[in-house]
Structure 1
Amino acid sequence: MDTMNATRTEQVIYEMLTENTGRHILDSGGESGRSWQKNQVKSLDDFRNEARTQFDAKYYDATVSLFHHLTEKLTYSQEWTETFNEVAASNAEMGWLELMESFPTVMGWERLFTENSYNRESLLSQVIQYSVYHTGNEVLVALQIHGGADVRGGYTAPRIFFMDYEYDLLSENASIFCTGDAVDSDGPHRFDWSGGEWTHEGDYSKEFDPYAMSQRADLLKLDYLPCAICGAPMRDGAQR
């Protein structure tokens, strides 16, 4: 894939994912264990080519690529980012979060809410912190990516993006599949994560949660995670 064909939004998200957010002896990141350090060995094409969802069937854990999540939902605004930086330069005593929350007041906009994905159930591969604004005509978001080891610090400088709907970043959509390798199976079956719950063909059941599948595996003494529909092993690894 040709990096030269990357969108400006993709380039900015990549810059944020690899931004050096510092090191501190108390943040448990060691010499090279912080997210920004791990990301710096990757190219933009590596992020573009990675699976949108990764599923670990052993630990029944699904992870959504933050790169894909952000580039699918956001469009970078250089103009508003430059304006934000001008306001920040005039208020050097303020921290990033305080600036993000006060910026709409300076601009005469409405701040809708501020969110940190660490404070809720999230499948994202990294923590994000953001503040959503309504200008009267558009929805904007000031976004930070957590690049450190300790969630209390290590956030990037904010960038401003356009967003279609105010809750877009809360919508973490993921799909996982079974192999369909079971007697009389009509699989593979797909389970979708949306709104904090797992569903199958739009229907919700607690049995569709990978953790519930793991409990079934323990009960039946299986050495694999069984599909809640047909019992076939769940597909491990990259998902579309």
Structure 2
Amino acid sequence: MFAQVLLDFASMIEKQKRDKEIPMPKIPTEDRTKEILAKMMTEPTFHFLDSGDIYGRHWERRRKEGFEDIERVHVEIFDDGDWYALIDTFAFLSEMLEYDQKLDYEFHKFAHLPEYREEPWLTVMKEFAERIGKEYATVNTYNFENYLDQVIQYVHIAPKPEYVHKDLLKDGFNPEDFNGLYDYDECYGAIVILQTHNGCDVRGGYSTPHVFRLKYGYFTFIDAMENIDFWCPKKGCYYHLSIGIGRDPIENGDEIDWEDISLIVDTKNKVLRCPKCKSPLEADFPVFF
């Protein structure tokens, strides 16, 4: 017990030191959702048992890179012709989520009740989900394949009638008709209590959670992190990269074997090119699927 207290204290001191050594970048304040997400992703989550001293930590990387001129999809090309593509997690979450200030305040007020003050964040998130939701599920994106460049952890909630999104009510939806998570798969308004993984070892180093609403359906949320679109602006050629298909592209909606066609890897200029017109390809994650 004493050793654990000593380790936690030493970690806190070192975290404060690192916090000062790596200054905060410019936080986007023109959009409340982006502001909260940026603060979450730059929150220091240092602990001595994390292996970040060797591999680096996400919160350190985010502070150094900042949030201006972000590539929504980053393509890394190696000299041997191999390549991979990753979705920027900040860009993804900014596109998919809307910060719910009122519900977030209620959540943190709940978290400071005497019975929850010493509980881990994930426990509090689940308890709050029990309070406001008809049904909920806990998700950690480390546990399934996706293209996000950073792990996120969240509790996905189908809200009780009194917590249904007001815009959903304006559209004529009857909250009594929504009985569970799957009823919200194709419409907006489901609740997400989100943490970003800011450390190195995925077992720890998660940010303080905050509450958001899905701007689109949950299917769109999941599909967007599992798919990347490539296209050339000149000819409009279109290719699709999907977790389910691997790196076999889909051309204009039709699946094509990798042996029949593949994107041209330009190792000199570090770009992917269209196999038809040789133009550089642009990339993005699909918002609507």
TM-score of the superposition, structure 2-length normalised? 0.64
What is the match of residue 192 of structure 1?
A: 240
Contact 1:213 1:226 in 2 (8 A): no
Amino acid at match of 1:161: F
Q: Which residue of 2 aligns with 1:144?
A: 195
Structure 1 residues 31 and 223: alpha-carbon distance in aligned structure 2, compared to 1, 3 A threshold: closer
Residue among 51, 56, 66 paired with 1:28: 51
Where 1:30 maps in the other structure, the secondary structure is: helix
Q: Which residue of 2 aligns with 1:61?
A: 84
- Identify unmatched segments of 5+ residues in structure 1: 181-186
Deviation for aligned residue 1:73: 0.8
1:232 offset after TM fit, Å? 4.8
Structure 1: which amino acid aligns with 2:127? S
Contact kept? 2:77, 2:267, Cα under 8 Å: no
* Separation (CA, whole Å) in 1 of partners of 2:98 and 2:198: 21
Shift of 1:206: 4.4
Go from structure 1 to structure 2 and tell me whether the alpha carbon gap of 1:153 and 1:3 turns closer, same or farther (over 3 Å shift).
closer
Asked if 2 retains the 8 angstrom alpha-carbon contact of 1:101 and 1:131, the reply is yes
Paired letter, 1:141? V
- The counterpart of 1:106, out of the listed 125, 131, 135, is 131
Residue 103 of structure 1: CA displacement? 1.3
What are the equivalent positions in structure 2 for 1:1-240 lying under 5 Å apart? 6-24=30-48, 26-30=49-53, 33-44=56-67, 46=68, 49-58=69-78, 59-90=82-113, 91-107=116-132, 109-135=133-159, 136=161, 137-138=164-165, 139-163=190-214, 164-170=216-222, 171-172=224-225, 173-177=227-231, 189-194=237-242, 196-197=244-245, 198-207=249-258, 213=262, 229-230=275-276, 232=278, 239=283
Structure 1 152/5 Cα, relative in aligned 2: closer, same or farther at 3 Å?
closer
Amino acid at match of 1:98: T
> How far apart are the structure 1 equivalents of 2:89 and 2:158?
24
**1:93 match: secondary structure:** coil
Q: Secondary structure at the match of 2:95?
A: helix
Cα offset, 1:62, TM superposition:
0.5
In the TM superposition, residue 239 of structure 1 has moved relative to its aligned partner by: 3.8
Q: Deviations over 1:94-145 (max 9, x none)?
A: 21112222212123x1233221111111111111111111114241100110
8 Å contact kept, 1:63–1:125: yes
Give the conservation status (yes or no) of the 8 Å contact 2:27–2:39: no
Following TM superposition, by how much is the alpha carbon of 1:43 offset from its aligned partner in structure 2, in angstroms? 3.5
Cα RMSD, aligned residues only? 3.4
| Residues 162-186 of structure 1: per-residue CA shift (max 9 Å, x gap) | 1132334312242235799xxxxxx
State the percentage of identical aligned residues. 27
Asked if structure 2 preserves the Cα contact closer than 8 Å seen for 1:174 and 1:194, the reply is yes
Which AA in structure 2 matches 1:149?
C
Distance 1:122 1:78, change over 3 A: same
Instruction: Tell whether the 8 Å contact from 1:57 to 1:234 is kept in structure 2 after alignment.
Output: no
User: CA–CA distance in 2 between the matches of 1:15 and 1:4?
Assistant: 9
Gaps of 5+ in 2: 1-25, 166-189, 285-289
Distance (Å, rounded) in 1 between the aligned partners of 2:63 and 2:27:
16
Paired residues of 2:28 and 2:35 also in contact (CA < 8 A): no
